[in-house]
């Protein structure tokens, strides 16, 4: 009964069919924790790209247990009330709600972040931007860095944690997002980040930085992928001009806030590399370059203020 992908749900002993998820309301549910994970995996099936991981995280959330503890206790029984809560979470996941909103947490870089529907769920691809930013900052003592559109605070907090000597400014146009980012900073005891409500560079009047990073909204308003992202804030995802408006606005305004030789690094969609490079060159940046993710897709582009 291992390898839950493609397993036959009917093979799980004593559990209801994944199509009829109604465990008994009282006493112990039939089946052990490990069986419920397999059952949940089958219930999610192709509706999730990572059904087993999702099932483990959701059952772990219900039981207040990490994945390692679940594995150790796989043979223990499950209380019926816990089974009902697990099934309810699975149903929300089946409807497309991100696991991170269901558990309220998401790992990013080395940090565990609290997330809510007010912020984009931080993506692993964005760690590429953090890596690039850290490379740029190497050898620069006490750099001043801005993260525009900080959301949960993911990028700013990862940089601040890696570089305690840096001074970070994290901005967002959403007051709710900034509240979330501030809570994360407090929970992680990260003190070298200032949070500010601002519309891209409009909130940076008179200030200059050694590096500006941003993962702005870059999905075109008519992109079909938005249906699968309907639980996340539209303002965090969508930009006008085929998804290029925020990227272009930041590229145009950032030079006034970059010291000579300082870089702007932007995350973008996999098909937007050429367009972002063109915008950066048009705005006068030097050393314009693009980085690819592990899948070989163009994910981030940047340039240096001459």
Give contact residues for ligand SAM (rule: CB under 6 A): 119-120, 122, 126, 148-152, 154-155, 171-174, 177, 199-200, 215-217, 235-236
How would you classify the pairing of strands 298-304 and 258-267?
antiparallel
46: left (phi over 0), alpha (psi -120 to 50) or beta: alpha
**CB of 73 or CB of 235, closer to ligand SAM:** 235
Least Å distance, CB 274 to ligand SAM, is 20
Closer of 23 and 217 to ligand SAM (Cβ):
217
| Measured CA angle at 231 (ends 230, 232), to 5 deg | 95
How, if at all, do strands 167-172 and 193-197 pair?
parallel
In angstroms, give the least distance from the CB of 76 to ligand SAM.
36
- The Cα 77–Cα 73 span in angstroms is 9
- Identify the DSSP state of 27: S
Shortest distance (Å) from residue 200 CB to ligand SAM: 4
Q: Toward ligand SAM, which CB reaches closer, 92 or 235? A: 235
Q: With respect to ligand SAM, which residue has the nearer C-beta, 149 or 255?
A: 149
The C-alpha angle with vertex 126 and arms to 122 and 129, in degrees rounded to 5, equals: 145
Q: How far is the CB of 26 from ligand SAM (least distance, A)?
A: 42
* Beta carbon of residue 212, minimum distance to ligand SAM (angstroms, whole number): 12
Beta carbons of 88 and 80 less than 8 angstroms apart: no
CB closer to ligand SAM out of 29 and 128: 128
């Amino acid at each position: 009964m291992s390898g839950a992908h493609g397993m036959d749900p009917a093979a799980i002993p004593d559990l209801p069919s994944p199509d009829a998820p109604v465990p008994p309301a009282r006493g112990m549910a039939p089946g052990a924790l490990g069986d419920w994970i397999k059952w949940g995996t089958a219930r999610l099936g192709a509706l999730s790209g990572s059904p087993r991981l999702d099932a483990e995280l959701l059952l772990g959330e219900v039981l207040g247990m990490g994945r390692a503890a679940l594995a150790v206790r796989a043979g223990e029984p499950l209380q019926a009330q816990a089974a009902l809560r697990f099934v309810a979470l699975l149903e929300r996941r089946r409807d497309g709600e991100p696991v991170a909103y269901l558990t309220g947490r998401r790992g990013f870089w080395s940090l565990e972040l609290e997330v809510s529907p007010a912020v984009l769920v931080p993506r692993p691809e964005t760690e590429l931007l953090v890596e690039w930013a850290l490379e740029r900052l190497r050898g620069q003592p006490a750099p001043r860095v801005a993260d525009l559109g900080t959301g949960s605070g993911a990028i700013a907090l990862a940089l601040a944690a890696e570089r305690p000597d840096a001074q970070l400014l994290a901005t967002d146009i959403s007051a709710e997002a900034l509240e979330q980012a501030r809570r994360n900073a407090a929970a992680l005891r990260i003190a070298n980040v200032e949070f500010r409500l601002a519309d891209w560079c409009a909130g940076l009047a008179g200030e200059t930085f050694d590096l500006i990073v941003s993962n702005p909204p870059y999905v075109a308003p008519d992109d079909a992928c938005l249906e699968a992202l309907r639980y996340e804030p539209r303002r965090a995802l969508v930009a006008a001009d085929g998804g290029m408006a925020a990227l272009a606005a930041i590229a145009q305004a950032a030079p006034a806030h970059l010291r000579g030789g300082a870089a702007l690094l932007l995350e973008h969609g996999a098909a937007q590399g050429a367009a972002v490079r063109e915008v950066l060159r048009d705005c006068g940046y030097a050393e314009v370059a693009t980085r690819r993710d592990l899948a070989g897709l163009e994910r981030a582009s940047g340039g240096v203020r001459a």
